Amino acid sequence: MNPGAKYRMLLDGRVEDRAVAGLARYAELLERWSERHNLVRFTSRRELIERHLLDAMAGVRLLTGSGRLIDIGSGAGLPGVPLLIARPQWSGVLLEPRQKRWAFLKLVIRELELHAVAVDQRYQDLEDQGSFDLVTTRAVGGHAAMLEWAGPRLSEDGSVALWTTLEGEQEIAKERDWRVLSWPLIGLDRGRLVSLRKCST
pTM above 0.85, yes or no: yes
Over range 58-75, report the average pLDDT: 96
| pLDDT per position as a tens digit, 146-155 | 999 999 999 9
User: With bands split at pLDDT 50, 70 and 90, how would you rate the model's confidence at 176?
Assistant: confident
User: With bands split at pLDDT 50, 70 and 90, how would you rate the model's confidence at 4?
Assistant: confident
Q: How far is CA 87 from the centre of its chain?
A: 12
Residue 168 pLDDT > 70 = yes
What amino acid is encoded at 67 in this protein? G
For 138-192, give the DSSP string. Answer: ES---HHHHHHHHGGGEEEEEEEEEEEEHHHHHHHTT-TTEEEEEEEPTT-TTEE
Is residue 66 within 8 A of residue 89, CB to CB? The reply is yes
Domain spans of the chain, in order of start: 54-198
User: With bands split at pLDDT 50, 70 and 90, how would you rate the model's confidence at 201?
Assistant: low
Over range 119-142, report the average pLDDT: 91
- Nearest in space to 22 (alpha carbons), one of 136, 121, 111, 141: 111
Residue 1 pLDDT > 70 = no
User: With bands split at pLDDT 50, 70 and 90, how would you rate the model's confidence at 140?
Assistant: confident
pLDDT of residue 188: 66
Residue 189 pLDDT > 90 = no
Residue 129 pLDDT > 90 = no
Homologous superfamily (CATH) for 54-198: Vaccinia Virus protein VP39 (3.40.50.150)
Residue 62 pLDDT > 60 = yes
